């Protein structure tokens, strides 16, 4: 025999309502976003702009990795290269959502303060493509070893010269900012040529003329350094300016393949395409096509898809195990690799041809 007092009908209804409400609240808590107890890890990918296929490749890889690893991915991009305001707002949004991590290709140092704010809020921030200045602005960077990529095309060029005098045009990135991707590629190329570079953290510290020791070695002259802003029109203008000062150019280095193609247009207009060794860095599908067509003698291929995918995996692993990613030995970033692409291989210098390069362009 029970000693509990029977509840009136209205009390039974109230009790049932409370139970349903409690169950609903528990269900909502279990389905909420990344900052509220969900099993999914919230990550934001913030690129410079989606008008550049390089960054589109990052987005595609990030989407694929997010689907595989159960990541709640948010995509954002600047309206154009240099648009820091949109990136700052995207970081603010990531903090508000309680994202576990941010992958970002910063549009400039103006976003540094916001990145620090995110890190203080407990968001793990990984830079992609370019090591920020200073490197510890972010938790870690996933990027190409741009100095090494420059060295590879420099060694290739010196070997192709076969001892001839090198009259070198340097089509760089920027004339007003000292950007790591710019000076690392520039000085890496010259070092690969066997030209002494006193200051590897700044363009133009090499002697204007002297000896190169790569390949069979020989004399060199720097015809000029000109900025291109990494764009085709800038590359063309830069090469036109250099040719106006020294029309004897027979070696041309360009910061990336759009700038290289612009430089090629200037060389073509001057009737000099057959006599110039033109090299660059990027290894996009279009750039590998330039190697196949003979426009570029060689390019160093980098892998933006790998940067994004590996960065995503690192954040997921950190969220689930607490284990942080590490930098590559001897570097202040995690090297995602590069590969020399050429159809004119040099003995002792590792490379793949344009056919192989076209199969892995910006992927690997």
Is the pLDDT confidence value at 4 over 60?
Answer: no
Alpha helices for the chain (secondary structure H): 9-30, 53-69, 84-97, 112-120, 146-161, 180-193, 232-245, 257-269, 285-293, 304-321, 354-360
Q: Which pLDDT does position 38 carry in this prediction?
A: 55
Strands 338-342 and 298-302: antiparallel
Q: How confident is the model at residue 362 (pLDDT cuts 50, 70, 90)?
A: confident
127 forms bridges with which residues in the sheet? 104, 141
Q: Per-residue confidence at 47, pLDDT binned at 50, 70, 90? A: very high
For residues 81 and 135, the model is more confident at: 135
Fold for the domain defined by 41-144+305-325: Rossmann fold (3.40.50)
Instruction: Give the mean pLDDT of 1-22.
Output: 39
User: Can you tell me the distance from the alpha carbon of 162 to that of 92, in angstroms, rounded to the nearest whole number?
Assistant: 55
Q: Report the C-alpha gap between 199 and 190 in whole angstroms.
A: 12
Q: What is the pLDDT of residues 151-160, one digit of tens each?
A: 999 999 999 9
Percentage of the chain exceeding pLDDT 70: 89
Q: What is the DSSP letter of 353?
A: -
User: In the 8-state DSSP scheme, what is residue 4?
Assistant: P
Cis preceding-peptide flag for 134 (omega within 30 of 0): yes
Find out whether 193 and 166 touch, Cβ atoms under 8 Å: yes
> Which of the pair, 18 or 88, is modelled with greater confidence?
88
Rg (CA), the chain: 26
pLDDT digits (tens, 9 = 90+) for 238-250: 999 999 999 999 9
Handedness of CA 99, 103, 107, 113 (dihedral sign): positive
Given a cut of 60, whether residue 124 has pLDDT beyond it is: yes
Domain 146-302+338-360, CATH number (from 3.30.1300.10, 3.30.70.270, 1.10.10.60, 3.40.50.2300):
3.40.50.2300
For residue 212, pLDDT beyond 50: yes
At 180, the pLDDT band (50, 70, 90 cuts) reads confident
Give me the pLDDT at residue 364, please: 66
Quick check: 316 and 278 in contact, CB under 8 A?
A: no
Give the model's confidence band at 121: pLDDT under 50 very low, under 70 low, under 90 confident, else very high.
very high
Cβ(209)–Cβ(216) under 8 Å? no
pLDDT at 111: 94
What was the pLDDT predicted at 353?
98
**What per-residue confidence (pLDDT) applies to 184?**
94
Answer yes or no: are the C-beta atoms of 33 and 71 closer than 8 Å.
no
DSSP code of 8?
P
Q: Do 146-302+338-360 and 41-144+305-325 have the same topology in CATH? A: yes
- Is residue 176's pLDDT more than 90? no
> Does the structure show a pLDDT above 90 at 27?
no
Domain boundaries, the chain: 41-144+305-325, 146-302+338-360
Which residues, 6+ apart, have CB-to-CB distance to 218 below 8 Å? 161, 163, 164, 165, 166, 211, 212
Q: What's the average model confidence in pLDDT over 34-62? A: 83
Query: Which of 213, 188, 204, 138 is CA-nearest to residue 302?
Result: 188
Residue 3: how many other CB atoms lie within 10 Å = 4
Which tens digit of pLDDT belongs to each residue from 260-313? 999 999 999 999 988 899 999 999 999 999 999 999 999 999 999 999 999 999
Predicted pLDDT of residue 18: 40
């Amino acid at each position: 025999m029970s000693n509990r007092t029977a509840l009136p009908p209205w009390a039974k209804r109230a009790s049932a309502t409370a139970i349903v409400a409690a169950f609903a609240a528990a269900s909502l808590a279990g389905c909420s976003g990344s900052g509220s107890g969900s099993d999914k890890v919230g990550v934001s990918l913030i690129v410079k702009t989606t008008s550049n296929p390089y960054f589109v490749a990052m987005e595609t890889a990030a989407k694929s990795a997010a689907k595989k690893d159960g990541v709640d991915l948010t995509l954002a991009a600047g309206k154009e290269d240099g648009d820091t305001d949109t990136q700052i707002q995207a970081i603010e949004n990531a903090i508000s959502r309680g994202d576990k991590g941010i992958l970002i290709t910063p549009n400039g140092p103006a976003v540094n303060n916001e990145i620090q704010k995110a890190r203080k809020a407990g968001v793990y921030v990984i830079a992609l493509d370019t090591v920020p200045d200073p490197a510890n602005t972010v938790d870690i960077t996933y990027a190409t070893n741009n100095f090494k990529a420059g060295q590879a095309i420099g060694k290739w060029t010196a070997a192709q010269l076969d001892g001839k005098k090198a009259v070198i045009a340097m089509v760089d990135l920027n004339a007003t900012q000292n950007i790591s991707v710019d000076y690392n590629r520039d000085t890496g190329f010259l070092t690969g040529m066997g030209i002494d570079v006193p200051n590897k953290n700044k363009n133009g510290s090499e002697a204007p003329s002297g000896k190169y020791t790569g390949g069979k070695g020989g004399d060199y002259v720097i015809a000029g350094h000109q900025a291109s802003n990494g764009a085709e029109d800038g590359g063309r203008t830069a090469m036109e300016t250099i040719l106006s000062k020294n029309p004897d150019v027979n070696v041309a280095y360009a910061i990336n393949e759009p700038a290289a193609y612009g430089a090629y247009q200037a060389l073509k207009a001057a009737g000099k395409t057959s006599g110039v060794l033109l090299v660059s860095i990027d290894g996009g599908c279009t750039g590998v096509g330039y190697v196949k067509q003979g426009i570029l003698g060689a390019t160093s291929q980098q892998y933006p898809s790998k940067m994004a995918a590996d960065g995503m995996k690192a954040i997921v692993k950190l969220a689930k195990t607490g284990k942080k990613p590490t930098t590559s030995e001897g570097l202040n970033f995690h090297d995602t690799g590069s590969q020399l692409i050429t159809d004119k291989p040099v003995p002792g210098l590792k490379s793949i041809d344009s056919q192989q390069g076209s199969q892995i362009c910006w992927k690997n």
